[in-house]
Amino acid sequence: MSRYVKKRTKSLGQPPGSLVHIGEIVTEKTKITVIDYNEKKYEHKTDVPLKECSRYFDSATVTWINIDGVHDVSVIERIGEMYRIHPLLLEDVMHTGQRPKIEDFGEHLFIILKMLTFNEEKDRVEAEQVSLLLGKNFVISFQEREGDVFTSIRERIQGDKGRIRKMGADYLAYSLMDSIVDHYFIILENFGDKIEELEEELLEDTSPKTSSRIHSLKRELVFLRRSVWPLRDIVNSLERGENALIKKSTLIFLRDVYDHTINIIDTIEAYRDSTSGMLDTYLTQMSNRMNETMKVLTVIATIFIPLTFIAGIYGMNFKFMPELGWKWAYPTVWGVIALVGVGMVIFFRRRRWL
């Protein structure tokens, strides 16, 4: 089945807000990690039992609850109850085939993003759904599997690098988004390298494989584009600062993310133009070569077929063929052959085929 739609037969006919996991299950056990911090305090717990999570709901410190694995209905449901999350949001967390989007529920900001990785083996971009829920003092992040995207942020919090410990939950949410968006550049660099390689291949030596590589690159760019495009509206809507959860001091950073997003979209479009151009180049090359092949065939065939006919004539066994007995017949035939041959060559020269 295609990457663009995930089997949702399980949820058909269910009342809205029913929690059914849609997508592949890629983690065995749901794992909860909590980081709780403010300028002075720092607490980091892994494998936190579910019931302990409620404790952080009202704390004045910033709490980041990270949940790896979204297939376990009971976990998602309990978290939802503790943090008073609307069932439709929980449904979206579990339906991993969502389009990136933002939903403003007043006291909650809910953001769905796509974490993209390039699977070298399958030669395709793969998307993992990351959902962020921003509340007054907390951020809950849901990932399909354990990943290392957020490691640098964890380190920044722990080491008190940058301003992250001094800012609120909105800055944390920004940092998570920024770190996801930053990883898109790695894929773009990867694609940039491939385009360069293909451009050189096109200049030097192409084979049918070249075309299939261009086609596959084009297909992946289409996928990439669809995953990144909605991001623009998301960041733009955040950056306008209409929700009270986003403080003014964070807005300037969101503008930076917005710039990155535009940059990424722009680059994808440039890559799409490049691949289209390369495909055109390839097809023109093919056409040129076909023409070249045809010319070679035509030149050879057109020169030798009439000559073979002449030879064939004097290979006939008729009794009464006066020429056969003539003394200078054989050299004369060679002369005719030379004449026809040279005439043909001149003809092809004129047509610039030789």
Can you tell me which of 280, 336, 342, 354 binds a copy of itself, judged by CB under 8 A? 280
96 contacts 22 by C-beta, under 8 angstroms? yes
CA angle 59, 62, 65 (to 5 degrees): 95
**Residue 338 sits in the site that holds a copy of itself (CB under 8 A):** no
Can you tell me which of 147, 285, 340, 345 binds a copy of itself, judged by CB under 8 A? 285
129 contacts 22 by C-beta, under 8 angstroms? no
Which of 64-72, 113-121, 138-146, 150-158 is the region at the interface with a copy of itself (rule: CB under 8 A)?
Answer: 150-158
160: nearest Cα among 63, 40, 251, 246? 40
Measured in degrees and rounded to the nearest 5, phi and psi for residue 120 equal -60, -35
183: nearest Cα among 260, 116, 271? 116
Can you tell me which of 43, 44, 84, 162 binds a copy of itself, judged by CB under 8 A? 162
Can you tell me which of 244, 286, 336, 342 binds a copy of itself, judged by CB under 8 A? 286
Question: And the tokens for 216?
Answer: 């596959």
Question: And the tokens for 341?
Answer: 């041959």
* In the complex, minimum distance from the CB of residue 207 to a copy of itself, in angstroms, rounded to a whole number: 9
**Residue 37 sits in the site that holds a copy of itself (CB under 8 A):** no
Q: What residues from 219 to 278 belong to the interface with a copy of itself (CB under 8 A)?
A: 219, 222-223, 226, 252-253, 255-256, 259, 262-263, 266-267, 269-271, 273-274, 277
**Residue 160 sits in the site that holds a copy of itself (CB under 8 A):** no
174 contacts 182 by C-beta, under 8 angstroms? no
Minimum CB distance to a copy of itself smaller for 244 or for 300: 300
Classify residue 46 as exposed, middle or buried by CB count within 10 Å of its CB (0-12, 13-18, 19+).
exposed
**Residue 295 sits in the site that holds a copy of itself (CB under 8 A):** yes
Q: What residues from 173 to 192 belong to the interface with a copy of itself (CB under 8 A)?
A: 178-179, 182-183, 185-186, 188-189, 191-192
**Residue 313 sits in the site that holds a copy of itself (CB under 8 A):** yes
Which of 34-42, 50-58, 74-82, 324-332 is the region at the interface with a copy of itself (rule: CB under 8 A)?
Answer: 324-332
Which of 63-71, 115-123, 161-169, 238-246 is the region at the interface with a copy of itself (rule: CB under 8 A)?
Answer: 161-169
Measured in degrees and rounded to the nearest 5, phi and psi for residue 321 equal -125, 95
Sheet holding 101-104, edge to edge: 42-45, 31-37, 62-68, 138-143, 124-134, 109-119, 101-104
**Residue 161 sits in the site that holds a copy of itself (CB under 8 A):** yes
* In the complex, minimum distance from the CB of residue 238 to a copy of itself, in angstroms, rounded to a whole number: 15
Q: What residues from 42 to 101 belong to the interface with a copy of itself (CB under 8 A)?
A: 86, 88, 97-99, 101
Cα 158 to Cα 43, 125, 170, 176, 237: the distances in Å are 9, 32, 18, 15, 30
